[in-house]
Structure 1
Amino acid sequence: MEYANILFKIENGIAQLTLNRPDKLNSFTQAMHLEVRHALGTIEADKTVRVLLLTGAGRGFCAGQDLSDRAVEPGAQGVDLGASVEKFYAPLIMTLRSLPMPVICAVNGVAAGAGANIALACDIVLAAKSANFVEVFCKLGLIPDSGGTWILPRLIGHARATGLAMLGDKLSAQTAEDWGLIWRCVPDEALQEDAYAMAEHFASAPTKGLAFTKKALQLSYANTLPEQLKVEGDMMRELGYSHDYREGVAAFIAKRAPHFTGE
């Protein structure tokens, strides 16, 4: 597929996907959705990929939906926003959450609307100090979509989630870190280097164990403690037969660096 709205490459086990409409703050159009979907499908099919690094080009990560791509004049017939969520945003969020590998998001500037919630759906979020997160939906008479109403209260609690969703105030990257919304706020000039270093770490890590960790944490929101203990037991049983577990133990005993294959 020819990519006009994203940059995408796979190298040394690292998939890098960059939203690339910098003149529009990388806001989503239908065309960009289709390109991102194709790239994620490529990642799912490529067994050499062990980590995804998602970021944006230019001065912003993503401003959410490009409103000009589905503009509607006051008084004119409305558009079915539910169809847009169901066709594009919901599958995107579900894919990011279910990829059997770590997903890192490097937020290099504003992350607004769906752009904020796409970032927060990733496993580990690094943000430049100048970046900010804005749930702008309330200013358009909408609700936080792309998983926003699910993700926000789980990360920062009901009160803070409600304030962000109903006021639409900008949240700085530093405050986002202080609240536990993201993993880390870093100096602007260090963002891409730090994010890539983390991707390199995951590219040589025990991928299957990390994928199971990701899945177990997600299941915990719906499970009782006995149910979650059963999940942990089942996962540990399977991981105990994995190459990476055997390699990890052998390396520990031999006092050498492990060589994980992701299997």
Structure 2
Amino acid sequence: MTPPILVEYDGPVLRITFDRPERLNALTTEMLTLAADAVETAGKGTGVRVVVLAGAGRAFSAGADLGGKTLPGVDTIDAANRLTLALREIPQPVLAAVGGPAVGVGCSLALAADVTVARASTYFLLAFVQVGLMPDGGATALLPSAIGRARATRMAMLAERVPAPLAAEWGLITHSVPDDTFDDEVERLTRQLAGGPTAAFARTKHALNASSLPQLRSALAVEREGQADLFTTADFAEGVAAFREKRDPEFSGK
């Protein structure tokens, strides 16, 4: 079977691509684990100087796969947390190339990058509450650090789409670029980072983590505990049923 992600080495560039375009790159535990393996390996002196994370087709990622035979569980949360930490703690810079919607944990992972470049036509969405869940993948730390508690709450509780230009204006992402120049801009920034002062990038990233994300690990633990409880609720069951039946959920609060 074809692996659900592509891992490609291009000189000093490691390109990791979620590769389930027919499912809008809905993420499975396997995909998250394979991506985390690749990122962690790159951080061990392999000659990689920049990591590029992208999605094949018309989406970056639609979030966790709710349409498969097996629903996401704590193992999925653990794999997502591992990837988020790998993206933040690897010394090399990480560039997320968001060519289409970044939804749910896909949004969390896009925001865990150091540089996040998005097509102007796309959007970011924390859709967790639409299926009776809470944000995960580190979103409860990443968002308030970037855009403040009020805007983070708006995204987390109201599940509003944030268009890429507004995301850049808020400081949620670093770049929103016209669709027709997106690929060129991603390549330009990739080469700039790959040719930059690697040791200085590593020290800068470490310092930014220390000052802006000191609670990331504890946030991941809180998210894991909360999500594990929510997986057992009637609202989650209703949210998944509504998602699969393409209708609005009717939550009971239980």
- Same-fold call, TM > 0.5? yes
Q: 1:221 to 1:184 in 2, by over 3 A?
A: closer
The equivalent of 2:170 in structure 1 is 179
The alpha-carbon deviation at position 41 of structure 1 amounts to 3.5
Amino acid at match of 1:174: P
User: What residue ranges of structure 2 are gaps of 5+ in the alignment?
Assistant: 215-254
Listed as ranges, the matches of 1:88-107 within 5 Å are 88-107=79-98
User: Are 2:77 and 1:85 aligned?
Assistant: yes
Indicate conservation of the 8 Å contact 1:53/1:196, yes or no: no
Range 63-72 or range 213-222, more displaced? 63-72
Listed as ranges, the matches of 1:28-107 within 5 Å are 28-69=27-68, 71=70, 81-86=73-78, 88-107=79-98
Q: 1:181 to 1:206 in 2, by over 3 A?
A: same
Q: 2:194 aligns with which of 203, 206, 209?
A: 203
After superposition, the CA RMSD in angstroms is 1.8
User: Are 2:16 and 1:17 aligned?
Assistant: yes
Secondary structure in 2 matching 1:54: strand
Larger radius of gyration: 1
Indicate conservation of the 8 Å contact 1:55/1:106, yes or no: yes
Secondary structure in 2 matching 1:49: coil
The alpha-carbon deviation at position 141 of structure 1 amounts to 1.1
Distance in 2 between the 1:108 and 1:221 partners? 26
Secondary structure in 1 matching 2:60: strand
The alpha-carbon deviation at position 199 of structure 1 amounts to 1.0
Q: 1:222 to 1:120 in 2, by over 3 A?
A: closer
Amino acid at match of 2:176: C
Indicate conservation of the 8 Å contact 2:43/2:92, yes or no: no
The equivalent of 2:125 in structure 1 is 134
Distance in 2 between the 1:140 and 1:70 partners? 17
Distance in 2 between the 1:41 and 1:145 partners? 20
Secondary structure in 2 matching 1:67: coil
Secondary structure in 1 matching 2:134: coil
Indicate conservation of the 8 Å contact 2:24/2:59, yes or no: yes
Listed as ranges, the matches of 1:218-233 within 5 Å are 218-221=209-212
The alpha-carbon deviation at position 222 of structure 1 amounts to 6.8
The alpha-carbon deviation at position 187 of structure 1 amounts to 1.1
Indicate conservation of the 8 Å contact 2:111/2:173, yes or no: yes
* Deviations, residues 230-256 of structure 1 (Å, cap 9, x unaligned): xxxxxxxxxxxxxxxxxxxxxxxxxxx
Q: 2:147 aligns with which of 152, 156, 163?
A: 156
The alpha-carbon deviation at position 33 of structure 1 amounts to 2.2
Tell me the matched-pair count: 214
Range 28-37 or range 187-196, more displaced? 28-37
* Deviations, residues 92-127 of structure 1 (Å, cap 9, x unaligned): 100000111110001001000000010000001000
Q: 2:185 aligns with which of 173, 178, 194?
A: 194
Identity %, equivalent residues: 37
Distance in 1 between the 2:206 and 2:50 partners? 15
Indicate conservation of the 8 Å contact 1:14/1:49, yes or no: yes
The equivalent of 2:110 in structure 1 is 119
The two structures have a TM-score, normalised by structure 2, of: 0.79
